[in-house]
Structure 1
Amino acid sequence: MGRQRAFDEDEVVRAAVGLFGSRAYDGVSVDDLVTHLGVHRNSLYKTFGSKRGLYLVALRRHLADDVHPLAGALAAATDAETALRLVTAADLGLLLLAAVERAPDDEEVAAEVTAALAAVDQAIADALGISTDLAAALTAAALGILLRGNPDGVGTALAQHLDPLD
């Protein structure tokens, strides 16, 4: 019988979400993972296969814990301003980094990011009664606002111009 695992896999994955979400895939070395997650290198490889394997598990956890609940909340939005505020208030760091850093070169990451953004777009479209193309534009604007770091000022101004959608 093998040795019992000396770490909580769920805690390690949650910590990896935070680490990859703050420093991106290329900004995190295996040594960083070992140090920050408190997992021995051999255990990390045995459990996740590779750094990329842990990254994919962390990305999927982020999507399940942060992005999919956002889509659920967006389904109840009654206007564009509420949708913008929900998106700009959400923890989407790992999703955004995955979209710009990994998705262009990794088909599996690209598929996860595309599906997550499509779910957000669809939730906005359904809630506001608009086309998915217009909802995708609203999502893109909200993510841009989030990246600029001024969700309240810019988001409110944009939402005021979108009021006719409601």
Structure 2
Amino acid sequence: MGRPKAFDETDAVLAAAALFADRVYAGVSVDDLVVALGVHRHSLYRTFGSKRGLYLAALRWRRENQLEPALAETPATGGLEALNRALNQEREALDLFLIAAVEQASTDPGVATEVGLFFTALDAAVARALGEDHAAGSPSVAEATAAILGHRLRAKATGRPD
């Protein structure tokens, strides 16, 4: 019989998510994860299977526990401004997904699935924020989504606040 886990899996996933959001998937080694998470390499592999398994767990956790709830709770009455405020509260989670979309989604079907699920939830929230009868000349769902993501990407790239 193996020893019980000596670490909290959620804490490990969140620490890894922060590391991946800051340094990108390719910029994080297993050694970096072992040090940052404070776990043994064997424990990491036994729990997550691989670095990729941990990455997918981080994406899934951030989507299910932070981004989707924030998007679902955004009131339609506040429009895009309320949606931007909600996403601004989840900046690190959003950064992880932006990086995943650019760096890994085109070559990793698991990452593409997680990113696609997030984009679907974001599009639905943008559609709610715009309302069914949005004024002529207002942005489409795709344009508003692109503006939200572009704004955050620019802030991340320049290091300036949103």
Match of 2:142 among 111, 136, 139: 136
Q: Percent identity?
A: 51
Q: Do the aligned partners of residues 120 and 50 (structure 1) sit closer, same or farther apart at CA in structure 2, a change above 3 Å counting?
A: same
Distance 1:7 1:48 in 2: 13
Q: Indicate whether 1:124 and 2:126 are aligned.
A: yes
Q: Which residue of 1 aligns with 2:136?
A: none
- Which runs of structure 2 are paired with 1:51-66 in the superposition (5 Å)? 51-66=51-66
Unaligned 5+ segments in structure 2 are 134-138
Q: Which AA in structure 1 matches 2:112? A: A
Distance 1:144 1:127 in 2: 18
Q: Which residue of 2 aligns with 1:102?
A: 104
TM-score by length of 2: 0.83
User: How much has 1:69 moved relative to structure 2?
Assistant: 1.9
Q: Which AA in structure 2 matches 1:105? A: T
Q: Which AA in structure 1 matches 2:122? A: V
Distance 1:116 1:142 in 2: 14
TM-score by length of 1: 0.81
What SS does the aligned partner of 2:63 have? helix
User: Structure 1 runs of 4+ off > 6 angstroms?
Assistant: none
- Which runs of structure 2 are paired with 1:1-166 in the superposition (5 Å)? 1-91=1-91, 92-130=94-132, 134-149=140-155
Moved more, 73-82 or 54-63: 73-82
What SS does the aligned partner of 2:27 have? coil
Q: Which AA in structure 2 matches 1:74? A: T
Distance 2:74 2:119 in 1: 12
CA RMSD of aligned residues (A): 2.0
Q: Which AA in structure 2 matches 1:86? A: A
Aligned length: 151
